[in-house]
Structures are given as C-alpha cells and as structure tokens.
Amino acid sequence: MQADDVGRVFRQSGQDLIAVSEASCMIFPSERIAITGPSGSGKSTLLHIFAGLDQPTSGTIIWPALGSPGNLRPTQIGVALQAPGLLPPLTVVENVSLPLLLGNVNPEQAETAALHILQELELEDLADQLPEELSGGQAQRVALARAVVTRPRLILADEPTGQLDHPTAQRFFDLLFALLVGSDTALVIATHDVSIAERFTCVWKIRQGVLTRPKDFA
Ligand SMILES: Nc1ncnc2c1ncn2[C@@H]1O[C@H](COP(=O)(O)OP(=O)(O)OP(=O)(O)O)[C@@H](O)[C@H]1O
Ligand SMILES: [Mg+2]
C-alpha cells in the first residue's frame, strides 16, 4: 500500500475538520506497524482509508501488490473495525466464516477454516454463541478472527484489544503473532496501549491528523 499526501477533511457543523493531513507512507509485506495517538487524532480515519473503506479528500492511495480497490476485500485485506460489527443473527463461527463464503469457498470448508482460526486464537469455546452473548472484548477478538480467516496479505485492526485487560491483550497478540509467523502478511493496528505498541517493529505516531514515522522522529 502506498499513500501520498493523503488528507481527509470532514464537514462538521458547517466547518471543515481536518482528520488526516498530508499523510505519506508505505506498508510492505510482513511489516508489523502500530499507529498510536490520542483519541480523535485520526487513527481510525487513516485505517479506513488504508482499507479502501473511505476515500481521501486529497492525495492518492494505491495497493500495487493487492489489486484494484474493487477486489481488495474480503480476501486481500482483512479489516477489524473499532466497533466489532458482528452480524447479530449469526453465531460466532458463522460470522468468522462469512468472508470465506463471500470469496466463494464452500460452506463446509469455510466452517472448518473458521473453527481452525478460532482455535488458534483460543476462542473456540465461543463458536456457537451469538454476538449478543459475547463481552465487548470477546466480540473484538472474534472480529479480528474474521479479519484473518481469509489469510489476507494486509490486516488492519483498529484497537483490537481496546476492551481487554493487559494480560489477556498480551496473550492475544502472542497468538496473533504466532499465527502470522512465516507469512508475508502485513499487520497494522491502531492502539492506545504502549505495552502493545512496543511489540511492533514500527510505531507510527499521529497527532491532530499529522502522521510521523520513525525516520521523521529524529
Ligand atoms: N464520519 C465522520 N464525520 C465527521 N467527523 C468525523 C468522522 N469520522 C471522524 N471524524 C472526526 O475526525 C477526527 C478523527 O477521528 P478518528 O475516529 O479518526 O480518531 P481516532 O484517533 O480513531 O480516535 P479514538 O482513539 O477515539 O478512536 C475526530 O475529530 C472526529 O470527530
Ligand atoms: Mg478510533
């Protein structure tokens, strides 16, 4: 993914609000990037643009290794939004199967793969539960399982452990990193949690919509 001078302005109560200002960056295969910044600094806005879910109001974004915006999701880019967005009538395993079904995998294989991912992330006990029966932290982890089930090339996760206690959050990242060992999948998360961010090889900071990356820190 390559972003050049990407900006996103929202119109709020008749005024322009600059959520992201001239962000330029690239995400390469296998990278582990944590985007940190205070509430309202533009983390979610940036991740939505990286996912192709929102369009920048200025600048350009391309996904040279992944294809055109029309076929990025659900197979090439896995997204776990800040609000988990599980479908209420479907069980956990059905929710996690969904991206595979949309990618034309047959239902039996999709369920097997979904159960496998749930096991890898130690969520298998939740498989038959409905979203309304989950805690907020469980729902977020299930949403992350749904984002990785297609083995996408790029995973974007917005505060995936924001509702978890520290030990559970750390354990979850142990499992997620283990799941990705040996793959060239890039993982980009937004987080407030310094102890999570320091486990990532790159930490990007965003303040009031201005993105700075390590080479800019000096
Ligand atoms: N759809 C929208 N319409 C109008 N303004 C928006 C919209 N989405 C975000 N904003 C504004 O853009 C700014 C950045 O919001 P964003 O959600 O990206 O922040 P964030 O860093 O993810 O915050 P948090 O840590 O609380 O999740 C905020 O001032 C927010 O009010
Ligand atoms: Mg956010």
Cα of 109 from ligand 2 centre, angstroms: 34
For strands 210-212 and 202-207, give the pairing: antiparallel
Q: Which residues line ligand 1 (CB under 6 A)?
A: 10, 12, 17, 19, 37, 39-45, 82
For the stretch 143-164, pLDDT in tens is: 999 999 999 999 999 999 999 9
Mean pLDDT of 14-19: 95
Give the pLDDT score at 216: 62
Residue 18 has pLDDT above 90, yes or no: yes
| Pair 63, 188: CB distance under 8 Å | no
Rounded to whole angstroms, how far apart are CA atoms 87 and 16? 33
Ligand nearest to the CA of 48: 1
pTM of the model: 0.95
Q: Hey, is 205 helix, strand or coil?
A: strand
For strands 58-62 and 32-36, give the pairing: unpaired
Residue 218 has pLDDT above 60, yes or no: no
| Pair 43, 204: CB distance under 8 Å | no
Mean pLDDT of 41-70: 94
HSE at residue 199, side-chain half, CA atoms within 13 A, is 18
